[in-house]
Chain A
Amino acid sequence: DTGVSQNPRHKITKRGQNVTFRCDPISEHNRLYWYRQTLGQGPEFLTYFQNEAQLEKSRLLSDRFSAERPKGSFSTLEIQRTEQGDSAMYLCASSTDTTYEQYFGPGTRLTVT
């Protein structure tokens, strides 16, 4: 199966620590998206890449958050100085240029204590 993969699946960290998540999209997909999902809510868009270019960032993405996709393949999402409010599921999705369908990974569940 060559679906979207995310690592780690779970991360527990203490407030103030930095964390980094990785997403590997479907290999032929040049678009990559990050979403955040809190309990009982739908996913909320965070940011989007077309190849290596980050084309859009949501207002939800504070300056403590940074995302990269250096070679247009995998992407990383880093959260600096984590806060308890950052606790959520972080979802990655990918798509081609020619379809509206986004394929989601299993997510990384972050718990900030």
Chain B
Amino acid sequence: GNSVTQMEGPVTLSEEAFLTINCTYTATGYPSLFWYVQYPGEGLQLLLKATKADDKGSNKGFEATYRKETTSFHLEKGSVQVSDSAVYFCALSDPMSGGYQKVTFGTGTKLQVIP
């Protein structure tokens, strides 16, 4: 079956530090990959996506590249801000698994950015 493994948190960084959150996946087909962000007390928001190998998703200074050879989709940001403090979820959608777009999520990584 499909699965997503992401690094455990919490991750604590100082403002303007470089961020990497690792994510690897297992899928039966050719999945689309996503990063979702969940701010305290809110629902999930789609942060970025990539639908095929070597695609780079980017949004709000965050980037992630779909690496099929290493089955990875690591999230990076060059300079984090306090407002980036949230829980980040790596996820995949595999059309081969039933023909619909069920999303499989990782367990989430909590990021805390301190001033």
- Chain A residues with CB under 8 Å of chain B are 4, 31, 33, 40-45, 48, 50, 55-56, 91, 93, 95, 100-107
Contacts and interface: CB of A to CB of B under 8 A. Distances in A.
A42 to B, nearest CB: 3
A106 B43 contact: yes
B105 to A, nearest CB: 3
Interface of B: 4, 32, 34, 36, 42-46, 49, 51, 89, 91, 93, 98, 100-108
Nearest to B51: A100
Main secondary structure of the interface of B (DSSP, over half): strand
B94 to A, nearest CB: 10
B52 to A, nearest CB: 11
A101 B46 CA distance: 8
Main secondary structure of the interface of A (DSSP, over half): strand
A70 to B, nearest CB: 20
15 contacts: A31-B100, A42-B106, A42-B108, A43-B44, A43-B105, A45-B103, A45-B104, A48-B102, A56-B98, A100-B49, A101-B49, A102-B46, A104-B43, A104-B44, A104-B45
